[in-house]
Structure 1
Amino acid sequence: MASYTEKLTLGISKILESSPGISEVKFDERAPAERHLIVSWEQRNSCFLPDDLKNFYLMTDGFLMSWSVKLDDSTVQVGSMVINSISDLLRLGGSSVYALPNAPTLADLEDEPEEEGCLEQPHFDSRNVIFELDPCSSNGKVCLVYKTSESGGAASDPEIWFLDRALYWHFLTHNFTSYYRLLLSHLGLPQWQYAFTSYGLSPQAKSRPEAHGRSVLYTSLRTHYTAC
């Protein structure tokens, strides 16, 4: 019977642990979020968590798994998969960048017109309510994005978007379940979210440790699924 960790990671933890060259697979096993904390979050933010994300928090209050590779007699962490806990699911935007009167806010960046035929991008003003789902090791932010309804409340079907370091938005998935599968399938490789941007991975993400990790993992995954 599959273990709790194996079920929660959809089998990825087992693949990592059995892959040659992969070392120190770490999984932070967490208790479920207490239901009253979820209710409190919804009341405080005037938003209802989507059912899939709420059920996730009722299984585990956040998610953290990392893995490393052996390289030149040293161990280098390559992959890191993170979902913020309910207490760290914090709202973005609205506050001043500087603690000064009339200081600029993120909403002041709203100066580019929408491209016709494209998905409507998130906004830092009253049109959206945005929460940080994953800090992406300071390489951007994966966000839970609610649209504001005509009545002023937040819609109950938020999308998942990636905010890069230049503060440009990139669509990832329509729901949390799809994003979670996407996160696991990319194994937490550095800056994997940039694969969903027009400019792709940075040279840093293609550097030796990360490239080595990709090579080892893709070989292991190919072997695993060929044998299935």
Structure 2
Amino acid sequence: MRAIFDDISLSVVTFLEAHQGVTDVRFAESPPATSVEIDRWHRSHHPVRLPPDLENFYLMQNGLSLKWRMRFNGEILPLGNMHVNSANTIEKIDLSQAVFADGATNSHHNVGFALDSTADGRVVLVFSKDLAATRVYFQDLSSAYNFVCDTFTEYMRLMVMHLGIARWQYAFTKCGLPPSSIQWFRLMSPERLHLDLRHSLNPSLKIQDEAPASAPVPKGSSQQQPRTSDIDFEKIEKTAKVSRSRNKKKHKKSTPDLLTGVSQAESMTSSAQRLARPGSAPGRRPPGPGTQQSPKMAGTARLEHDRRQEPRGSF
């Protein structure tokens, strides 16, 4: 029976035994209920009949008990308990004075049966008024009935996913998981804890996938409220481009452009060539008004003046 349960429960027993902090995993072998026992139950509670999934479970094994403990600070603590009452020990529950947290009234429900009374509360399979449908509720210590799921199969899946950790059913109540259970879930099943807190009915425990919006700033106040949001990589890239563009402009103002300096030098050279005397050596500038001539040039000018003043004879 243990191998069959481990197979249909996605190897939960193997997982617990392999966990380094878990010890003393105990699976109580329970023989399957006989068809005679199932018929006797139906006759005793006529006209109520077990739902097909619960009846098939009892025909496979008559009840469930899987307990495990945890090593912590040198102590061994009882922590996990997956339990389903046998067909012989299911207790009938009177729902005439029941208070349902989901707003359902007693007119919608007729009778219930306790699936598990070992938790800090009671897990009850509740039948509808016409006995055609069932729902699973958890009666907490305040005696309020909190909706858990629709069928027994769904309840078994939830119990396995929560590893039977103590008080896991309180995830479906208005008060939510107690702090001690939250700490154990962080260690044993953080993924399941995230789902429970995400859908928690307790606003102080509820978490969201998206960052909460910032509170509005009161009128007349210049103080900005802190805001938490996702990183905007596109905005960061735009800001970086603007900053790089500003740095380039500053660099141009402080350092002359090499090409501009070369063009200015070429322009000055062209002007000097235009002012030079025709036939003069390239690159040599003509003397200005106040420029003193060299001795060679002065002697040449004096000789030319004397030749002009000599008397010319006639033939």
The answer, yes or no, to whether TM exceeds 0.5 is yes
Higher Rg: 2
Partner of residue 214, structure 1: 185
Give the superposition deviation at 1:27: 0.6
Give the superposition deviation at 1:167: 1.1
The alignment partner of 1:31 has SS state of coil
Higher share in strand? 1
The alignment partner of 2:154 has SS state of helix
How many Å separate the matches in 1 of 2:14 and 2:179? 30
Q: Do the aligned partners of 1:136 and 1:191 also contact (CA within 8 Å) in 2?
A: no
The reply to whether residue 48 of structure 1 matches residue 41 of structure 2 is no
Partner of residue 189, structure 1: 165
The alignment partner of 1:3 has SS state of helix
How many Å separate the matches in 2 of 1:220 and 1:169? 26
The alignment partner of 2:163 has SS state of coil
Give the superposition deviation at 1:29: 1.4
Q: Do the aligned partners of 2:162 and 2:189 also contact (CA within 8 Å) in 1?
A: no
Q: Do the aligned partners of 2:109 and 2:126 also contact (CA within 8 Å) in 1?
A: no
Give the superposition deviation at 1:205: 4.0
The two structures, once aligned, show a CA RMSD in angstroms of: 2.6
Deviation string for 1:144-185 (max 9, x for gaps)?
Answer: 101222xxxxx1321111111111111111111111101111
Q: Cα–Cα, structure 1 residues 23 and 48, in superposed 2: closer, same or farther, change >3 Å?
A: same
| Paired letter, 1:120 | A
Partner of residue 14, structure 1: 14
The reply to whether residue 162 of structure 1 matches residue 162 of structure 2 is no
The alignment partner of 1:87 has SS state of coil
Higher share in helix? 2
Deviation string for 1:107-143 (max 9, x for gaps)?
Answer: 3x46x7x89xx5625x3x8941110001143x11110
Give the superposition deviation at 1:219: 6.8
Q: Structure 2 unaligned runs (5+)?
A: 193-315
The reply to whether residue 133 of structure 1 matches residue 115 of structure 2 is yes
Partner of residue 83, structure 1: 84
How many Å separate the matches in 1 of 2:188 and 2:55? 31
Partner of residue 29, structure 2: 29
The reply to whether residue 120 of structure 1 matches residue 104 of structure 2 is yes
Q: Cα–Cα, structure 1 residues 190 and 31, in superposed 2: closer, same or farther, change >3 Å?
A: same
Give the superposition deviation at 1:82: 0.3
TM-score with structure 2 length normalisation?
A: 0.55
What aligned pairs does 1:142-157 form with structure 2 within 5 A after superposition? 142-149=123-130, 155-157=131-133
How many Å separate the matches in 2 of 1:220 and 1:201? 15
Q: Do the aligned partners of 1:20 and 1:216 also contact (CA within 8 Å) in 2?
A: no
| Paired letter, 1:76 | L
Partner of residue 224, structure 1: none
Give the superposition deviation at 1:201: 2.1
Partner of residue 74, structure 1: 75
TM-score with structure 1 length normalisation?
A: 0.75
Task: Decide which of 138, 146, 154 is 1:178's aligned counterpart.
Answer: 154
How many Å separate the matches in 2 of 1:126 and 1:156? 12
Q: Quick one: higher RCO (CA 8 Å, sep 6+), 1 or 2?
A: 1
Q: Do the aligned partners of 1:65 and 1:81 also contact (CA within 8 Å) in 2?
A: yes
- Paired positions, count: 190
Q: Structure 1 unaligned runs (5+)?
A: 94-105, 150-154, 222-228
